[in-house]
Chains A and B, each alone.
Chain A
């Protein structure tokens, strides 16, 4: 009897270990595949030239040459749209998070907090539909502005949450000391609470950026994509994930998929690891 129970205990222990470690396999498999299929595409021209047309790519394939061009249009589009989204989402998110942290017992704040969760859980494709209805239809055309609005809506809940949570775990004595020294609430928030919460908020911002940088669905109906390097924000614009989607659908451009994916993946992973590292440092 006891032998049987001990044997069962051992079997369960080992199967948990094996299954848990097996879970790491997909990460390695995906990283490995993207890396080995993509690393030789990452040349200088891959980052400086725009996407080739399908015709040009077809010619190159027929001639047996590597496809010319790269993803410069996508990189510039991603940076521009993400930048515009961040400029609005970061200050708004921090202010809103500060409101939630300061008024946590208030009825209105509780509603806002609930709605933030609702927005955070909304599928990204629905954010795409909404931005289409709000921005693309009134502006009578796809544009980088629409793309950045979609990204902004997706970033905001994450920044609100991280700001609120970080401010709430700060010791109350910190705020009280600031107030006792004669600072008013705004001054204490700006000079004491926000600087003290900087690490947590910064981690939240990095995670928000890494979440939206790979988003494809909300950009498909808003920024649409464009094969030129473009700086005008009222015109369609490309982004790295949009380009991957384009390459996936165009048999002539399939050679470019892995380089673009490797670039995106490395970027996202570096952001994630940096965020984790900062969070750990800040917690100590």
Chain B
């Protein structure tokens, strides 16, 4: 096989990626078009009505956008107090030690558990607990979904943060130690400022994960189509409304669901792009 044919074969194989991506965007846009045309783009985004009784069909994405943003934000808040210590444990305090390797393996395994099993665990273990603690009467809701979501994104946030914390140059830390700083002060005054951009970017990528998480949220969020008024109330995320209704939908409702899919795709793609760019910048410094 000569070089030319070899190059052509590789080129054709590489073409598949742009084709698939183009196809994704094309299919989402053309199938969402009906809903956007019928309701108007901004009206669709800002309407909180979701009514599929025939004749009075009215669809809006606002409750689901709110639901997604609330679950993601809460998951991030719940995840930080655990993922940051894990990153410091692995990347600074026990760097290169056996315990660090064990902990990072265990945390990585969390990333391997299928989301439907997280959903089951949340439904059969966490939900009764929340009911028993009288936090919410029905047990499921934004809070329950976010708690499980937080566990799911810990590995994504902590493993990348640990990488950046490991890369902090030793001479900087030694300089601080020689001035009499304690370890906590070194972490606070040297490690965080140097690795900060990288740590931040790893949380941006973790958000990207949480936004599109489907099964866990579908099983735990309570599946009501209203704007959640508190963190214990039920709701729906963009992914969970699609998972719940896509199978039975047609016509305008199907188009509206695909429109929600398009919005979700754009938000996730945007967040991931920002995260990747930030990682590249953080690596150079």
Q: Looking at A30, A157, A213, A220, which has the most chain B CB atoms within 10 Å of its CB?
A: A30
Checking B105, B116, B124, B158 against A216 with a beta-carbon cut-off of 8 angstroms, the contacting residue is B116
Judge if B27 is at the interface, Cβ distance under 8 Å. Answer: yes
Judge if A26 is at the interface, Cβ distance under 8 Å. Answer: yes
Judge if B219 is at the interface, Cβ distance under 8 Å. Answer: yes
Judge if A196 is at the interface, Cβ distance under 8 Å. Answer: no
Contact with B along A107-124 (1 / 0, CB 8 A): 011011001111101111
- Asked whether, in the complex, the Cβ of B247 is within 8 Å of the Cβ of A241, the reply is no
Checking A20, A124, A160 against B89 with a beta-carbon cut-off of 8 angstroms, the contacting residue is A20
- Asked whether, in the complex, the Cβ of A121 is within 8 Å of the Cβ of B269, the reply is yes
Once A30-B113, A216-B215, A245-B116 are accepted as A-B contacts, the answer to whether A129 and B272 lie under 8 Å apart by CB is no
Contacts of B85 in A (CB 8 A): 15-17, 19-20, 23
Interface range on chain B: under 10, 10 to 19, 20 to 34, or 35 or more?
Answer: 35 or more
- Asked whether, in the complex, the Cβ of B14 is within 8 Å of the Cβ of A220, the reply is no
- Asked whether, in the complex, the Cβ of A125 is within 8 Å of the Cβ of B114, the reply is no
Say whether chain B's binding surface is mostly helix, strand, loop, or mixed: helix
Q: How far is the CA of A276 from the CA of B106 in the complex (A)?
A: 12
Q: Which of A155-187 contact B (CB under 8 A)?
A: 156-157, 160, 184-187
**Which chain B residues have a beta carbon within 8 Å of chain A's beta carbons?**
1-3, 5-7, 9-11, 13-14, 16-18, 20-21, 23-24, 27-28, 31, 81-83, 85-86, 88-90, 93, 103, 105-110, 112-121, 123-125, 151, 154, 158, 182-185, 187, 208, 211-215, 219, 239, 242-243, 246-247, 257-258, 261, 264-265, 268-269, 272-273, 276
**Which chain A residues have a beta carbon within 8 Å of chain B's beta carbons?**
5-6, 8-9, 12-13, 15-17, 19-24, 26-27, 29-30, 33-34, 92, 95-96, 98-100, 102, 108-109, 111-112, 115-119, 121-126, 128-130, 132-134, 153, 156-157, 160, 184-187, 189, 210, 213-217, 220-221, 224, 241, 244-245, 248, 257, 261, 264-265, 268-269, 271-273, 276
